[in-house]
A and B are shown apart, each in its own frame.
Chain A
Amino acid sequence: MVDEATKRTLAEITLLKTKASPRDGELWVQRLKEEYQSLIKYVQNNKASDNDWFRLESNKEGTRWFGKCWYIHELLKYEFDVEFDIPVTYPTTAPEIALPELDGKTAKMYRGGKICMTDHFKPLWARNVPKFGIAHAMALGLGPWLAVEIPDLIEKGIINYKEKAAEK
């Protein structure tokens, strides 16, 4: 079920220990710390390997996440807002990552700009509860989605390069 590229991506991301949802009080704070640790490590690794591709932050409670992700296509940087809520059933169910500005521009999305995950993602997630966290969802869910969809959307002229995004 897991190909070599996925295995390599996975090996780079630290796993989590605590199974807790936002309804679990102190246990959730523990989980949230693990999420941040894992994310920080992942972003640092990405930077080190010159493959930095997203930033995320959350509200105080860690229930709502937002940030930016970007994709380089033919040397141009395309940047998008990312957002998602942590559902009450987390981490049993993965977060539903959304790119609101692309809502309605591709059929590979559900309402509100939630990306359509591959058939492999949910089984893989389910087999790894509670070890997988937000960093895994980004790497295995959003990453591959951008790689497939963005070049296609650019080619079709549905999204265009913005000067502003490049200055960052």
Chain B
Amino acid sequence: MSSIAELEKKIKILESELERERSKNERGRQKIAHMSSEVVDTNPYSRLMALKRMGIVDNYERIRDFAVAVVGVGGVGSVAAEMLTRCGIGKLLLFDYDKVELANMNRLFYQPHQAGLSKVEAAERTLKEINPDVEFEIYNYNITTVDNFQHFMDRISKGGLKECTPVDLVLSCVDNFEARMAINTACNELGQKWIESGVSENAVSGHIQFIIPGETSCFACAPPLVVATHTDEKTLKREGVCAASLPTTMAIVAGFLVQNTLKYLLHFGNVAYYLGYNALEDFFPTMVMKPNPQCDDNYCRQQQAEFQKREAAKPKQVVEERKEEAVTHDDNDWGIELVSETTEEESRLAEGDTPHLTEGVKFAYTKPVQSAQNDSGVTVEKTDQSLEELMQQMKGL
């Protein structure tokens, strides 16, 4: 049993600890109405506004007019969100259905005491403390399910800085094909520009890809691109694990992603369309990919038609300028050619039409040309049974 004196002592200690914690929060800064260029220690934006004086960015304050959606706030997304927060972005919309786990601690941003919290909630708390000027919307759900997808589309198309305007850019920081495809579907339907990002499961390569529906290749136009790291997939040791990750590769990809975002939003430098990162060889392939006229996604094909119309309506001068931007053949500098063991016709049927890629980038897999004849299996026959009857039959088995 503790004596009253001991308990009182304990209360004193706890009170002082509480006081310290409280003062920590109070020390956080207040909102700032206008971004100032004044170079003083107390101005959180002084080094960013200096970009203007240096002639890099014309009008840095515009950063506050933009809303960016970050889908997936894991190893890449959380760091990207922090970068944008520190840059003073106007609004962030965060989507993720995951919780913070101790297994995440090899990556940046989250801290052990946040384990168990939803990632979006933990992220919002930290980010608001770093920069209270940023507006947040957070959604703790899986975007690929039917129930959530429509809401996700609504927030992309109406969650801009002014309600009912679209967000300015969507950043895909998810870790799986299904979620990327869902973002692709949404963005093709909405004509929303987005940047896809990814880190390989062996943690030694990554990429970003800027997707403008109709103008550049969408995520469904071709099989996913991978940066060739010359590690043999067959010898890759997968014993007992699904994925490895490194804080370095993830932070580098997050850096590429946000750099590209800033360049696009604030109009400086050249915006990258595809930028790969091969960590083993320090190689950074870049390229531009045109959309596939036979893309599986109807909305992608619609966007392509609309883009063609817009292009045709533009004065000629502009068209020529664009052509200059779209350099696709820097690969010939290296004298690299695709050499095949099978005939061109054979490989075309087996692998489909694959566009030429820059050196160091390949498709994750190939898809055969769609044809009805090569189906070896039996296809389902027409049935007179109703769905309910089929469901009952299945249950009765």
Contact = CB atoms under 8 A, between A and B. Distances in A.
Nearest to B234: A119
Contacts of A126: 223, 365, 367
B241 interface: yes
Contacts of B367: 126-127
Nearest to B238: A119
A146 interface: no
Given A23-B149, A34-B380, A129 B185 contact: no
The B contact surface, by secondary structure, is: loop
Interface stretch (A69-77, A83-91, A160-168): A83-91
A140 interface: no
A22 B146 contact: yes
Nearest to A59: B391
A23 B153 CA distance: 13
Interface in B92-148: 98, 142, 144-146
A89 B144 contact: yes
A6 interface: no
Contacts, number: 119
B319 interface: no
Interface in A7-66: 10-11, 13-17, 22-23, 29, 32-34, 36-40, 43-44, 47, 55-58, 61-63
A111 B385 CA distance: 38
Contacts of B368: 127
16 contacts: A14-B379, A23-B146, A33-B387, A38-B380, A40-B393, A44-B397, A55-B397, A87-B182, A94-B178, A96-B176, A107-B240, A108-B242, A109-B242, A127-B366, A127-B367, A131-B375
Interface of B: 98, 142, 144-146, 149, 176-178, 181-182, 184-185, 220, 223, 233, 238, 240-242, 296, 364-368, 375-381, 383, 385, 387, 390-391, 393-395, 397
Interface of A: 10-11, 13-17, 22-23, 29, 32-34, 36-40, 43-44, 47, 55-58, 61-63, 85-89, 92-94, 96, 106-111, 116, 119, 122-123, 126-127, 129, 131
